[in-house]
Structure 1
Amino acid sequence: MIRRVTSPYAQDGFRVGFDWATTGAAAVPGSITAVVDVLSFTTTVTVAADLGIDVYPYRWRDESAVAYAKQYDAVLAVGRSEAGPGEVSLSPVTIRQAQGIERLVLPSPNGSTICQQLSDTGSTVIAVSLRNRAAAAEWVSKRLAEDPQLTVVAIAAGERWKVGALRPAVEDLWGAGGFLAALDVDGFSPEARAAAAAYQDAENELPELLHECAGGRELTQYGFPQDVAIAAEVDSSRSVPVLRDGKLSASN
């Protein structure tokens, strides 16, 4: 049964919704929640899933993260700019170069934080990027067809300005919209329709637009243009990482 709530922000009565960041994830419930953080958390998760690596989302890279990684006998990712030879970070390039890693704790203040936030809500959480948006939509569409009472919401993680305010990141809008546009289901909220339309407007100009948007330019200026290139590998992955027992693993 589709959940009925009183909040005007919950996109109640629609099977497909869309919103932003941790606040939107709390405000718009879904039976299935697709978390989208293109530069770079969910892109990195899909690269890891392609290689059979389980990813444990974690908000902060601090002493508690060290203990958390030890608890699961996992490697703790270092800061993107701190990664030396053989070390892994939020950069998907380092995941592709990694050897012998089976479990990875991957801190991120945006996508990873949202995954952790949703882990105890009862929603099925999946990691979606431009790389796996079609595969994820196929996976979700099948489940929605099997149970007409299920709903899905895409949450674009966005970024943060230095003052702490949300910076809606267009790459996450495209990632969420690309996933939504590929769904084989009716009942889109106005917000979901807008996100899908944003992707459809840009899809023929990707990956160029991804390199030219603010997030792409930022990573390039920091010396990580290959991270943007990997994020722009639209539909290259068939992995659908699903959050179960605290870890994102490729769905069977």
Structure 2
Amino acid sequence: MTGFYGQAEYRVRCDWGPAGADAIGAGASVVAVVDVLSFTTALTVAADRGVEVFPYRWRDERAVAFAESRGAVLVVGRSQVGPGRPVSLSPVTIRSAQALERLVLPSPNGSTIARRLSEAGATVIGVSLRNAGAAASWTAARVADGAAVAVVASGERWPDGSLRPAAEDLWGAGAYIQGLIDLGFAGSSPEAEMAAVAYRNVRADIRSVLLDCVGGRELAEQGFTRDVEIAAEADAGDVVPVLTGESFRPVSGR
């Protein structure tokens, strides 16, 4: 891929989806994966509880076998919750579940991006609106002067499988990037600065805009308004999920 797609001349980079992750992740010290509705919000809610989370690319019988092999609870789709399936992508179920220690969290976007970049040697963290400030603090304390940070807005998928950029992920990426800027990080790419500007424009009213964006309205119409409200808990979490080996493990971000 032509070099300029990688934003290599900038310290803070930002792009979309798996292809964007591959482009900007090369050489980055830390890669932040952002999938606000719902992978990284579910991930940060689990991290707040001290739960170890295994990201997984598929949501099928392979995920069932993988969860069994790890002694973990498999997260199911929101509509699949029932007897023997108490935990879903809904953060509400993760927050209320009893005796939860390990989860397998399938996601065609967030999990796939995280695993791909980790396997390529990057330090991968999960970032949502809930922990953007803590994640920025954690990053600033660990990244050497001049080292690069890549921020991947996961986006969603159209029915034909193509990437659909999602406003909530732009805001989540921007919240994290703004946190880095506030901590003295210089050298943001125009793409990273765009995300920060987008977040600054809505941060005073983040709950309302999150409920009103396409992804928020979709969940609300399905009866999951509370999931969107949890996603809007800006900087409520102090924990950063860090992908260590094959699982995210919670560490303090402050």
Q: Give the TM-score range, shorter chain.
A: over 0.9
SS across alignment from 1:243: strand
* Alpha-carbon separation, structure 2, partners of 1:154 and 1:36: 7
Task: Find out whether 1:62 has 2:60 as its counterpart.
Answer: yes
Provide, for residues 90-149 of structure 1, a one-character-per-residue CA deviation record: whole Å limited to 9, x for no partner. 1100001101110000111111111111121111000000000000001111123xx114
More helix by share: 2
2:124 is aligned to 125
Superposed CA offset, 1:183-207 (max 9, x none): 0211111111111111001111111
AA matched with 2:121: G
Q: How far apart, CA to CA, are the structure 2 residues paired with 1:107 and 1:122?
A: 21
Q: Is the 8 A contact 1:42 1:127 kept in 2?
A: yes
2:48 aligned residue (37, 47, 50): 50
Unaligned runs of 5+ in 1: none
Aligned pair 1:16/2:16, yes or no? no
Task: Name segments (4+ residues, structure 1) moved above 2 Å.
Answer: none
Q: Deviations over 1:159-218 (max 9, x none)?
A: 001011111000000000000001021111111111111100111111100000000000
What TM-score does the superposition give when structure 2 sets the normalisation length?
Answer: 0.94
Verify: 1:239 aligned to 2:239, yes or no. yes
Q: Which residue of 2 aligns with 1:223?
A: 223
Identity percentage over the alignment? Answer: 55
> Within 2, Cα distance between the matches of 1:22 and 1:83?
29
How big is the shift at 1:6?
A: 5.5
Give structure 2 stretches of 5+ with no counterpart. Answer: none
**Correspondence for 1:162 among 156, 159, 163:** 159
Match of 1:74 in 2: 72
Q: AA paired with 1:25?
A: A
TM-score normalised by length of structure 1: 0.95
8 A Cα contact 1:19 1:155, kept in partner: yes
Give me the whole-angstrom Cα distance separating, in 2, the residues matched to 1:65 and 1:83. 16
Q: CA deviation at 1:7?
A: 1.4
Q: Following superposition of structure 1 onto structure 2, how do residues 1-252 of structure 1 map, counting pairs within 5 Å?
A: 7-29=3-25, 30-84=28-82, 87-144=86-143, 147-183=144-180, 184=183, 185-252=185-252
1:15-72 CA-to-partner distances (Å, cap 9, x unmatched) read 1000001010001122100000000100000000000111100011111111111221
Cα distance in 1 for residues equivalent to 2:87 and 2:4: 42
Is the 8 Å Cα contact of residues 57 and 115 (structure 1) preserved in structure 2? yes
Q: Distance in 1 between matches of 2:190 and 2:232?
A: 26
Task: Tell me, in whole angstroms, the C-alpha distance in 2 between the residues paired with 1:55 and 1:19.
Answer: 24
In 1, Cα distance between equivalents of 2:197 and 2:176:
11
Offset of 1:243 from its aligned partner? 0.1
Count how many residue pairs are aligned between Structure 1 and Structure 2.
246
Q: Distance in 2 between matches of 1:14 and 1:75?
A: 40
**How large is the Cα RMSD of the aligned pairs?**
1.2
